[in-house]
Amino acid sequence: NAGVTQTPKFRVLKTGQSMTLLCAQDMNHEYMYWYRQDPGMGLRLIHYSVGEGTTAKGEVPDGYNVSRLKKQNFLLGLESAAPSQTSVYFCASSKLPGQGSRFHEQYFGPGTRLTVT
């Protein structure tokens, strides 16, 4: 099991460019999440998905879009990158209640470090 993987690991963008971050999980989890981590801010939820074909906004959704066309993949898009989106992005996934997880903890990917100049 690879768990949760993220592509790419690092990226530098110029202001106004677009890109897509890919998250993949091989644990058959229903729920998937995108967070951003900024210094001194902890992790903040951008968007999440409770199943294939569904997405919802989190705490800081502006400037991002997401798609969950396949259960195992959750894509985060930046249509027009801004310096304020310089951050480390984490994807996470978790099971449905009753799927055998005692705590329904979230499993995190290794992160993507994005710099927007």
Partner 1 sequence: AQKITQTQPGMFVQEKEAVTLDCTYDTSDPSYGLFWYKQPSSGEMIFLIYQGSYDQQNATEGRYSLNFQKARKSANLVISASQLGDSAMYFCAMREENSGGSNYKLTFGKGTLLTVNP
Smaller CB separation from partner 1, 78 or 92: 92
Give the Cα separation of 75 and 25 in Å (integer): 12
Q: What angle do CA 29, 90, 93 make, to 5 degrees?
A: 10
x/- site string to partner 1, residues 33 to 52, per CB under 8 A? x-x----xxxxxx--x-x--
Among 80, 105, 115, 117, binds partner 1 (CB under 8 A): 105
Q: What is the DSSP letter of 96?
A: P
Q: Give the range of 20-28, 29-37, 61-69, 72-80 binding partner 1 by CB under 8 A.
A: 29-37
Please give the order of strands across the beta sheet that includes 19-25: 4-7, 19-25, 73-78, 65-67
Cβ 11 to partner 1, closest distance in Å?
15
Bridge partners for 100 per DSSP: none
Is the Cα dihedral 51, 104, 91, 36 positive or negative?
Answer: positive
Smaller CB separation from partner 1, 17 or 96: 96
Binding site for partner 1 (CB under 8 A): 31, 33, 35, 40-45, 48, 50, 56, 58, 88, 90, 92, 94, 97, 102-108, 110-111
